[in-house]
Amino acid sequence: MKFDVVIGGAGLAGSTAARVFADAGKKVLVVEKHRHVAGHCHDFRDDAGITVHTYGPHIFHTNDKGVWEFVRRFTDFHYLQHRVLSYAGGKLVPFPVNRDTINEVFGVNIATGDVSAFLQAEVERSKFNMPLRNFRDAVVSQVGERLYELFFKNYTLKQWGRDPETLSPEIAKRIPVRSNRDDRYFSDRYQGVPGRGYTRMVENMLDHPGIAVMLGADYFDAIKSFAAPLSIFTGELDVYFGRKHGELAYRSLDIEFETLDRERFQEAPVVNYPNDYDWTRITEFKLLSGETSKKTTVCYEYPKEKGEPYYVVMDDENMAKREKYIAETRILEERPLGAGKVLFVGRLAEYTYYNMDQVIGATMKKVLPLVQ
Ligand SMILES: Cc1cc2nc3c(=O)[nH]c(=O)nc-3n(C[C@H](O)[C@H](O)[C@H](O)COP(=O)(O)OP(=O)(O)OC[C@H]3O[C@@H](n4cnc5c(N)ncnc54)[C@H](O)[C@@H]3O)c2cc1C
């Protein structure tokens, strides 16, 4: 059988690319090494009838209308404005830091209009490097040392197993700080979780007469048997190149699921534990999906050094290796069709922290010019 495109990986990157090519009349083979599609946003219904996320909680959020319209072709959504609480100093307080967080942790009663001045005073009495050199600098420059110590320092130590002063300031750009009472975790215009789960959404993306899917199969074997004018790789960047510039590090997680014989466990879908216990956070899935059940399922996340690749490690050493690999990908990406052209898309193949909408957007940006 002849294919126009062979794709390694049936996560969001691979499935988006497959669908775009299939919609344009191309024959596509998707090869996935796991026995399930959807990659890291895989989910399934557990014995309590609750949809749980295999690789940790996933909330879809985007400001990109094109991406939102694309995913809505394949699923309805349970609309959800995601909220997170943080267990800090013996209290559950809103996170990201907002006016209520400050009032509760410092026992003050400042008004919305005074939050910026309060944070500014916190920042001014703190010491940090300018220009920002590391994660600590990035956070302290936004909220000051006291809030950094309470919410970020130990959480980061748990999450990354590294001193925050050795991590890139880029990571802290993802932390929103609010001067009002907005307690939503994300402020994107479109938010929710797929009504029948991410796995079903991705299955629907791949459900096209032009797409064949091989599960439990390896891309590197498949491209030997199914030569195609174009291939797309969404797996690990360093693995593609035989780790010739060294191994790229990932932070991993142990995720422990527990089903409890009670209707409700906690006060928010996600509760962070920056300072107490060994887990970083607990998620109660029915509060994400809106499902009802006499039982409830939660998961505890324990960060660890090795295992399933979850988070890219943005330190200088890894970023320098990444640059070398990305230079190699450019050569393959620029080749003409039929002459060994390969595209690299997604969080593993680009060694970049991407949210789901960013993966879809980045994939479309690379593949759409080839079908127009
Ligand atoms: C704990 C956690 C929570 C997250 N929460 C959110 C969230 O709330 N909201 C959000 O927007 N994003 C979230 N994300 C990010 C989200 O998971 C990713 O952006 C997205 O799933 C990445 O899609 P992908 O296709 O690039 O990669 P993946 O989902 O990893 O897919 C790559 C696929 O390629 C396959 N593969 C690799 N090598 C080979 C090979 N040689 N042969 C065949 N197949 C191969 C893999 O098995 C995998 O299925 C979270 C990530 C994590 C880790």
Q: What's the pLDDT at 1?
A: 77
The CATH number assigned to the domain holding 214 equals: 3.40.50.720
Structural domain ending residue among the three candidates 174, 206, 227: 174
**Residues 213, 158 share a domain:** no
- C-alpha radius of gyration, the chain, whole number: 22
Q: What's the pLDDT at 126?
A: 97
**Residues 363, 321 share a domain:** yes
Q: What's the pLDDT at 73?
A: 98
pLDDT digits (tens, 9 = 90+) for 281-293: 999 999 999 999 9
Question: Considering the domain boundaries, does residue 84 fall inside one?
Answer: no
- Residue 124 CA, distance from chain mean position: 33
**Residues 240, 324 share a domain:** yes
Question: Considering the domain boundaries, does residue 303 fall inside one?
Answer: no
Tell me how crowded residue 326 is: count the other CB atoms within 10 A of its CB: 15
CA 260 to ligand 1 center in whole angstroms: 28
Nearest to 119 by CA among 140, 144, 95: 144
- Please give the residue range of the domain that contains residue 335: 5-43+55-78+193-248+313-371
Q: What is the dihedral of CA 197, 199, 204, 210, to 10 degrees?
A: 170
**Residues 221, 364 share a domain:** yes
Question: Considering the domain boundaries, does residue 222 fall inside one?
Answer: yes
Taking CA atoms only, the protein residue closest to ligand 1 atom 12 is 355
Q: Which two tokens stand for residue 226?
A: 């199914």
pLDDT digits (tens, 9 = 90+) for 86-129: 999 899 999 989 999 999 999 999 998 899 899 999 999 999 99
Q: What's the pLDDT at 358?
A: 98
- Cβ neighbours for 304, distance < 8 A, ≥ 6 positions apart: 161, 251, 252, 253, 254
Structural domain ending residue among the three candidates 142, 174, 206: 174
Question: Considering the domain boundaries, does residue 67 fall inside one?
Answer: yes
Q: What angle do CA 286, 295, 86 make, to 5 degrees?
A: 50
pLDDT digits (tens, 9 = 90+) for 3-37: 999 999 999 999 999 999 999 999 999 999 999 99
CA 278 to ligand 1 center in whole angstroms: 24
Task: Say what angle helices 198-206 and 12-23 make with each other, to 10 degrees.
Answer: 30
Taking CA atoms only, the protein residue closest to ligand 1 atom 38 is 235
Question: Considering the domain boundaries, does residue 320 fall inside one?
Answer: yes
Choice from 41, 71, 78, 187 to test ligand 1 binding pocket (greatest atom count within 8 A of CB): 41
What residues pair up with 252 in beta bridges, in sequence order?
304
CA 76 to ligand 1 center in whole angstroms: 21
**Residues 340, 227 share a domain:** yes
Atom nearest to 40 CA in ligand 1: 29
User: Within the chain, which residues score under 70 in pLDDT?
Assistant: 174-175
Q: Are 82 and 185 in contact (CB under 8 A)?
A: yes
Question: Considering the domain boundaries, does residue 10 fall inside one?
Answer: yes
**Residues 359, 224 share a domain:** yes
**Residues 322, 213 share a domain:** yes
Structural domain ending residue among the three candidates 147, 174, 201: 174
Q: What's the pLDDT at 168?
A: 80
How many independent structural domains does the chain possess? 2
**Residues 243, 337 share a domain:** yes
pTM, whole model, 2 decimals? Answer: 0.94
**Residues 71, 10 share a domain:** yes
Question: Considering the domain boundaries, does residue 323 fall inside one?
Answer: yes
Pocket of ligand 1 (CB under 6 A): 8-14, 31-34, 39-41, 55-60, 218-220, 234-235, 310-311, 346-348, 354-357, 359
**Residues 101, 74 share a domain:** no
Question: Considering the domain boundaries, does residue 63 fall inside one?
Answer: yes
